[in-house]
Structure 1
């Protein structure tokens, strides 16, 4: 049954890719849950193909295939029962190998892997809206792109671009704002001072010191950035 086995193999590959690189929920499932569902479907197809082939050869081979498949299903159920611990292990591994991926350890630390350009991309939320940031200790404040302002809950027509700032591209003007809530993983800070740079000035939002100085600690260890809240220390 090469066709069924092939389909099962493709589902397993899709499950692995989803578990490693997906960052947002799929329908009502987390990336980990969706990967587990795809993996289970792939395993079931491969086991079904083995059972059918076994009975095609002789009934004893079919019984053996059923027994093996039953053992695999039991192992999968045990794995599912321990999914919390497995998820933590996978998150630790992903933090090491998935460039730009942000994960949370069981201790509440937020870990980001270094990108190929040497920067750290951190996934967060601004006023409840998804946003990504470049970790930047050289930025005195959090800086948002004007292109993202409306999606993050700010009204573009109320922004006053009157504050001069220096950027890699030279001088520019920015608007002062206060972020009601800024979250990175389980770490949430409220009333965070920030700037919104004019359109075309920045290529990414910057996670600057008005957020970082509120943390318990942050450090770069090898190719990983580790953020800790004051509560986790």
Structure 2
């Protein structure tokens, strides 16, 4: 009886040692072939929609990630910038998004690549890309001469469940 119990206990100990390694090996293989359900082997296009709640943006030749966002229902090309605290738009884009620029208080200061400029805080009603839609996103409006395009910063990215750059692609997941 004791011999039999020792044999069973030894077998269970062996299973306890092997099973975690099997699970780890399986997960490693899965991670090599898929990422958030998106096959890594699949070719990545400029804006490939991975699912309703995620999107993959391909890096341009300089390694930057651009996407077409919808701000308050209007399309605008934007550069995803993890170094930007908020979404940054210029006055012209703010007008296109239905923001009354004349009523904005340009009492904030923003550090740009070209120095410090006056800026105004706004809240965007809705920001979308692919199947990802977020409401009430903070942004800053800068003078046209200080910003030629839209930057999509951390006020958007931090509201996602995850984002990461990998193998020349940026994965955004809601």
Pairwise TM-score range, normalised by the shorter structure = 0.7 to 0.9
Q: How many residues align?
A: 135
- Structure 1 match to 2:168: 223
Q: How far is 1:204 from its partner?
A: 1.6
**1:174 aligned to 2:119?**
yes
Residues 160-207 of structure 1: CA deviation (Å, up to 9, x unaligned): 211111000001011110001111111111111110111111122111
Question: Which segments of 5 or more consecutive residues in structure 2 lack a partner in the other structure?
Answer: 1-38
Residues 80-138 of structure 1: CA deviation (Å, up to 9, x unaligned): xxxxxxxxx9xx5352xxxxx22211363211111112211011100011012111111
- Structure 1 match to 2:108: 163
Greater CA drift, 209-218 or 141-150: 141-150
Runs of 4+ in structure 1 off by over 3 angstroms are none
Question: Which segments of 5 or more consecutive residues in structure 1 lack a partner in the other structure?
Answer: 1-88, 96-100
- For 1:227 and 1:163, locate their aligned partners in 2 and report how far apart those are by CA, in whole Å: 29
Kindly indicate whether structure 1 or structure 2 has the higher relative contact order, using CA contacts under 8 Å at least 6 residues apart.
Answer: 2
In the TM superposition, 1:109-128 aligns within 5 A as: 109-128=54-73
| Structure 1 vs Structure 2 CA RMSD | 1.8
- For 1:173 and 1:117, locate their aligned partners in 2 and report how far apart those are by CA, in whole Å: 29
Query: What secondary structure sits across from 1:160 in the alignment?
Result: coil
Structure 2 length normalisation: TM-score? 0.72
Structure 1 length normalisation: TM-score? 0.55
Structure with greater proportional helix content: 1
